Amino acid sequence: MATDSHRRGVLIHPDVERYSDVNRDVLKILGRPGLGWWFLFALAAAGVGLFFGAWGIQIVRGIGVSGLMSPVGWGVYVTTFVFWVGIAHSGTLISAILFLFRAPWRQSVYRAAEAMTVFAVMTAGLFPLVHLGRVWHAYWLFPYPNSRFLWPNFRSPLVWDVFAVTTYFTVSAVFFYLGSIPDVAAARDGATGLRRKLYQVISLGWRGTDREWHHFGKAYIFLAALATPLVLSVHSVVSWDFAMGIVPGWHTTIFAPYFVAGAIFSGVAMVITLIVPLRKVFGLEAYLTVKHFDALAKLCLLTSLIVLYAYVTEFFMAWYSGEEIERASFWNRLFGTYWWASWTMLVCNGMVPILLWFRRVRHSIPALFVISIFINIGMWFERYVIIVTSLHHDFVPFAWGVYRPSLVGMSIVIGSFAWFGFWFLLFTRILPPVAIAELKEVLPAPMRRFRKVGGH
Amino acid sequence: MARTGGLLASYDYLDAIVDAIHDLRKAGFRELTAYVPFPEHHIEEALGYGQSPVRVWTLVGGLTGAATGFAFTTWTSMDWPLITGGKPIVSIPAYVVIAFELTILFGALSTVIGLFWNARLPNPKPMVVYDPEFSAGRFGLYVVAPPERFDEARRILEAQEPAELREDREGAHAR
């Protein structure tokens, strides 16, 4: 018991004493947005305009405007697709896997992380459509009884990907929604007028009865248990999009674990990037303590070591295989046309996280924020390096070429960040961004036996 | 048909509501509803809950998903047999991926339906017997009591010092 109460004391600031304090502190976020929020929201909305504008140009004029050209048929679109799917993964890690492991620091962070997952998959899901070129044929991806009863080729990793990503989106959205129901009910009880009616509908009339909680608890555990293997499978399937091809630099068995580790690495960094401003702007210092950031930083450090190990293994295997083309491909990565991208990746993902070994860095929130941005950049470049350097320089020198992303392509990539931010900003105003009900589990329960003399 | 009325008590302390549940159950009151701001296993234990049937929904959904995944991929391959990559028409290892994803998808959706079914959600009934405090920090306890035992239930609830006690003689709860 002693260690238990000790832990509780560190995870939530001692000023938060009563259950109703949690409601007060979290629900006040949902009030009238400040000027800063409107500024960011306008910026995000403009970015969403850029995204759809650029996509519109591409739809009218054809995929050529994106800069994609043989031999590089997969450019910044697939890079950004993998980037956003990867970002999503740490949200599920924090909400589902750490739930099963009963990590007590998860409580304050996970709702925001879960929202990040849902919006990141929503963003990622746009990229196969953008990349399709003829987007009006998108439904061809799904198996449906068409006039000639032609079915997709289920031996193709691209079809696996359709199943993996749609399942991932559905399950993570359901998990996110279900977890929010009791908190939306709490928001409803604190709201009036139209907002109250809206929350009553979203919360499905939740009252927190024993029957509701009993089945809810069971359903939540099973959803977490289903989401855990799912998250590992999704990025493995994404990695097989590459590894199943015989392109040098792609065709390796290390890809699945390497991609999963990289996904969690980038996602945890993105969680830090998002909750640092969230904490500051909404005054959640009592709930998101240095202890939480320390735990996230350690997760980053661990996954950065796995990713670095995978980089080293890739280079070693290319040399050790004795395969000339494989060797040339990896030499080209470091010293070829795209040397700057590879070195950005190595420095941001391999070198910068070394700082996280120091407790002082892990406990400095500004330092973590800056490091997390470096990791985000590094992980985008990792996917860029894997895709572009492998494709532009494959087997026959005659077929080599150089790819430069066009203005349209880059507008869509930048716009995707705005699209993500747009949803995330809306989320912070509509749903409680910190889990109200589960935070109460970390607080000591009020007991008559331990009643304070004089009361509160 | 006349509805049976009841009483709604709000407690500030966890042990108070747990003791009240124990005393009411001992006295033979069976229809109790607790309102809790977060999942509290002490209260579930006091009310004598067993295993939730939601787990069966998860299992059946998952197995249906796995079967659907294998059956669908196999059937569509046989429906239009086309050799690609020199692989057999029915390539089980490749279909494992589809079957796996559908296991998760069907299992998760079936869990949610199971939850809604068992927890009786969505619940559009008007919230007559409810207090906004229940989602903030108080523990609520509603007990259905026939008129002749109304005062007995009241005594038991009052013994644990409720912060508030409401009478519901018309049985609004049952509505």
Task: Look up the pTM and report it.
Answer: 0.92
Chain B residues closer than 8 Å to A149 by CB: 79-80
- Which two structure tokens, joined as six digits, stand for A333? 């990565």
B11 — phi, psi (to 5°)?
-120, 145
Question: Is residue A287 very low, low, confident or very high in pLDDT (cuts 50, 70, 90)?
Answer: confident
Q: Is the pLDDT of residue A374 over 90?
A: yes
In-domain check, residue A413: yes
Q: How confident is the model at residue A3 (pLDDT cuts 50, 70, 90)?
A: very low
- A164 contacts A233 by C-beta, under 8 angstroms: yes
Q: Least CB-CB distance to B108: which of A152, A223, A448?
A: A223
Note whether residue A30 is domain-resident.
yes
Which are the contacts of A280, defined by CB distance < 8 A and separation ≥ 6? Answer: none
- Chain A residues in contact with B127 (beta carbon < 8 A): 205, 207
The enclosing domain of A117 has a CATH number of 1.20.1630.10
Q: Which residues of B touch A222 (CB under 8 A)?
A: 54-55, 58, 107, 111
Question: pLDDT tens across B105-135, in order?
Answer: 999 999 999 999 999 889 888 777 888 888 8
Residue A449 lies in a domain: no
Contacts of A172 in chain B (CB under 8 A): none
| Region A39-62 average pLDDT | 96
Q: Read off the DSSP letter of residue A55.
A: H
Residue whose token pair is 């009151």: B29
Task: Tell me how far apart the alpha carbons of residues A254 and A111 are, in angstroms, rounded to a whole number.
Answer: 32
Chain B: closest CA distance from residue A125 (Å): 17
Domain that holds residue A257: 14-442
Q: Tell me the three state secondary structure of residue B6.
A: strand
d(CA A272, CA A292): 10
**Please, which residues have CB within 8 angstroms of residue A113's CB and are 6 or more apart in sequence?**
A90, A91, A94, A95, A271
Domains of chain B in sequence order: 6-50+129-174 (3.30.70), 54-119 (no CATH)
* Torsion angle of the four alpha carbons A143, A144, A149, A152, in this order, in degrees rounded to the nearest 10: -10
Residue A6, pLDDT score: 41
Structure tokens at A317: 């295997």
Q: Does B104 sit within 8 Å of A167, measured CB to CB?
A: yes
Q: Do B108 and A171 touch (CB under 8 A)?
A: yes
B69, B95 contact by CB (below 8 A): yes
Helix, strand, coil share (%) of chain A residues, nearest 5:
75, 0, 25
**Cβ proximity of A119 and A420 under 8 Å:** yes
Q: What domain count does chain A have?
A: 1
- Whether B108 and A175 lie within 8 Å, measured CB to CB: yes
* Rounded Cα–Cα distance for residues A241 and A262 (Å): 16
Q: Is the residue at A3 inside a domain? A: no
Structure confidence at residue B95 as a pLDDT band (50, 70, 90): very high
**pLDDT tens digit string along B11-53?**
999 889 999 999 999 988 888 999 998 888 888 888 888 888 9
**Yes or no, beta carbons of A213 and B40 under 8 Å apart:** yes
Contacts (Cβ under 8 Å, ≥6 apart) of B12: A446, B137, B138, B139, B163
Cβ distance A237 to B97 less than 8 Å, yes or no, reads yes
In whole angstroms, what separates CA A337 from the centre of its chain?
A: 30
* Mean pLDDT of the region A56-75: 92
Do B171 and B41 touch, CB atoms closer than 8 A? no
